[in-house]
Each structure stands twice: as structure tokens, then as C-alpha cells.
Amino acid sequence: MANKSNTENDANPSCRFYVDVGGKKQALFTEVGGLGLEMEFQEVREGGNNHFVHRLPGPCKTGNLVLRGGLSSSSEFFKWMMDAAHGKIERRNISVILYDPMGKEQARWNFNNAFPVKWTGPQFKANDVTVAIELLEIAHEGLKTD
């Protein structure tokens, strides 16, 4: 997932999160949530054995990817959400990339068959020249790391 540093005590500062869609960096976000996996399981009792319960592994499930505090030079995410709102669901493979203060990639999370489920716009300011995104929530079919 993340590259190892030279010393065990070094931490990767969470400085910049870019969202890559189709090989192009589409936006910069200050906060990323929803990076997690949870394995479901089934409990099975064995007849005559009251000392324990067998726990059998099931499928993994993931939550939605939640991106907050974004800036983009295009309105691509809004257009993607509006298309979905009008029934034109376009699934895309996307990546969230963490960069360190020097601009070196530290970690990458890949999401398969993603599509937007919620978009919240910003409060407008007359002197802004970029497209701001307060919140973008994306459903997906799986999380992988490089």
C-alpha cells in the first residue's frame, strides 16, 4: 500500500489526495473517507459441542468512497453525477493517490466500476477560479492497492 520509509518511526503526512480517472488527475481533495473492508462471516453451531461456535468466512464488503474539500479545473465530476441522476450510469475505474510534501506518490487505492451517488457543491465566492466540490460520494465494486 504505502512505500516504506527509511526509519520505522517516520510517518507519511497526509498532504494531498488526487483522484485519477482514466489516467488523468481530475481533482485534488483534502479529506478521503471510506477506505475499508469488512469480511462477513457465518456462525455455525456443531451439534453436541457447546464449547465454541464455528465462524465461517464470507464475502468482503466495502463502504462508499467519500471525498471532501475538493478542487478541480473542470466540472467533470458534476457532469458525471448529473448523467447518473438522469439514468445514464457510467461506471469508471478510479484511483485515489496520496502524495507527500515533495510530490512523491506514497500510496494508491484503486476502485473498480465506480459511479457517483452523491455530490454536494460549495458555497460560492466571487473571486474563485476553480470548481470546488464540498463532498463527492462514490459507490464501487471493490478496493485494491498497488
Which CATH number do you get for residue 21? Answer: 2.30.110
Please state the pTM of the whole predicted model: 0.74
Q: Flag whether 99 is in a domain.
A: yes
Total structural domains in the chain? 1
Q: Flag whether 3 is in a domain.
A: no
Q: Flag whether 5 is in a domain.
A: no
What is the distance of C-alpha 62 from the center of its chain?
A: 10
Q: Flag whether 4 is in a domain.
A: no
Per-residue confidence (pLDDT) for residue 9, from 0 to 100: 44
Q: Flag whether 43 is in a domain.
A: yes
Q: Flag whether 27 is in a domain.
A: yes
Q: Flag whether 93 is in a domain.
A: yes
Distance CA 73, CA 52 (A): 57
Per-residue confidence (pLDDT) for residue 128, from 0 to 100: 63
Per-residue confidence (pLDDT) for residue 58, from 0 to 100: 93
What domain range includes position 90? Answer: 16-145
Characterize 81-96 residue by residue with b for buried, 16 or more Cβ atoms within 10 angstroms of its Cβ, and e for exposed. beebeeeeeeeebbbb
The pLDDT profile of the chain, 146 residues, written as one tens digit per residue, is 444 444 444 555 556 788 988 788 888 888 899 988 899 999 999 888 888 899 999 998 889 999 988 888 778 888 899 999 999 999 999 999 998 888 888 899 999 999 999 988 877 666 766 667 788 999 999 888 87
Q: Flag whether 7 is in a domain.
A: no
